[in-house]
Amino acid sequence: MPRGCGARFRALGLAVLLRFFTSRLAMANTPWKKSHDLSRLSAGFHRLRFTAAGGVGFDAFIWRGEPGPVLLVNGATHGDEYEGPTLLRTWAERWRPRRLAGTVVFVPVLNEAAFFAGQRCAPVDGANLARVFPGKANGSPTERLAHLFDTQLLAQCTHYADLHSAGAAYHLKPWTGYVTHRGAINRTQRAMAACFDAFWVWAGPYLPGRTLSAAFARNIPAIYVECQGLGGVDAGDLRNLDHGLRNLLRWAGLTPGAAPRLHRQAVRITRDVDEAHLQVHHPAPVDGLFVPLAALDRRVRRGAPLGHVLPLDGSDGHLVRAESTGRIILIRRQRSVRRGDALFTLAPV
Ligand SMILES: [Zn+2]
């Protein structure tokens, strides 16, 4: 590591810690009122809309059963990720369990503005919803949305899952993951991730701003799932998500039945805060046309050529080499790139 990098990472670590503690403090000091108290809902199926100032809001589907765990699952934290919305909206249409020992809450599309724009982020303020949690009651529209979700639903749940994907611009090898936590919460998260047994597991340290960061601050066991993306919905991914969700409901005791028999997963747990930070690896060195040389799921050695970026003005192309040895678990699909756009992520799996 060159001189200066250590200081930069220490500074980054301090900034992350500071933001984490100030966000916890802000949350603890801010009173909030439940617009819908889930514990007071009658037994059965409910459709509710949660709203904040300026037309910000989302629809939630709630199955209220006997007293028990409260499982919250959402899709479309990013607007161009359709696997979660497809799964959850389909379940809202069809799922009417005869016995439910707890409460299940689905929000198929959390980020409506980004979803209808077909973009990762909401065009109204350009903010990434997965970087602004726990949000602000009087902030930008995206910050208000984060605050609404955090205070109105996350605060009422006992278990949480956020369904993501590579979106329109990327393709990835599906995985499930969580923020490493202390003792029992960490074990619960590992068990929740194990329910999605068609996916490999990638767990790592706390990063600020995510839905999972807000769950972390509230000591709520939480996982996320990443599906292939490519701007569509892969039928195999959808089956695997559906299977994982059924496992999760049985594992939590929400639905009856024996504990699910689970397939063994490949597991990677890292202490490197940047390892699973997908936006920071192999940045495009210039604006231009991206020409990949390596395919998803291939193992490569450090220094191996991964792709070229060709400037449009005919000047020399730039070769992008592997920063480390590992498997290509994410690759950019969109061939137009701006300087700094992430082109590949490798993981040591
Ligand atoms: Zn996402």
Q: 315 C-alpha vs ligand 1 centroid, how far in Å?
A: 34
My answer on whether 263 and 288 are in the same domain is no
Q: Is residue 13 part of a domain?
A: no
My answer on whether 118 and 250 are in the same domain is yes
Give residue 157's domain range: 33-269
Identity of the amino acid at 67: P
**149 contact partners, CB below 8 Å, separation of at least 6:** 50, 58, 74, 107, 110, 135, 211, 214
Both tokens assigned to 189: 């998260």
Q: Kindly report the backbone phi and psi dihedral angles of residue 211, in degrees, each rounded to the nearest multiple of 5, phi listed first.
A: -60, -40
Q: 165 C-alpha vs ligand 1 centroid, how far in Å?
A: 5
Q: 92 C-alpha vs ligand 1 centroid, how far in Å?
A: 21
My answer on whether 340 and 214 are in the same domain is no
Domain count, the chain: 2
Q: Kindly report the backbone phi and psi dihedral angles of residue 82, in degrees, each rounded to the nearest multiple of 5, phi listed first.
A: -110, -5
**Buried (b) or exposed (e) across 125-138, using 16+ Cβ within 10 A?**
eebbbbebbbbeee
Q: 316 C-alpha vs ligand 1 centroid, how far in Å?
A: 34
Angle at CA 162, nearest 5°, toward 195 and 337? 120
pLDDT at 101 over 60: yes
- For every residue of 332-343, which 3-state class applies, written as one string? ECCCEECCCCEC
Full-prediction pTM beyond 0.85? Answer: yes
**Digit-coded pLDDT (tens) for 52-89:** 999 999 999 999 999 999 999 999 999 999 999 999 99
Q: Is residue 140 part of a domain?
A: yes
My answer on whether 207 and 252 are in the same domain is yes
Domain end (from 204, 235, 269): 269
Q: 304 C-alpha vs ligand 1 centroid, how far in Å?
A: 28
For residue 310, what are the β-bridge partners?
289
d(C-alpha 347, C-alpha 333), whole Å: 18
My answer on whether 188 and 120 are in the same domain is yes
My answer on whether 139 and 56 are in the same domain is yes
Cβ neighbours around 305 below 10 Å, total: 12
Q: 164 C-alpha vs ligand 1 centroid, how far in Å?
A: 4
Q: 213 C-alpha vs ligand 1 centroid, how far in Å?
A: 14
Identity of the amino acid at 223: I
Q: Is residue 288 part of a domain?
A: yes
pLDDT at 335 over 90: yes
Q: 161 C-alpha vs ligand 1 centroid, how far in Å?
A: 12
The CATH number assigned to the domain holding 325 equals 2.40.50.100
**Digit-coded pLDDT (tens) for 226-242:** 999 999 999 999 999 99
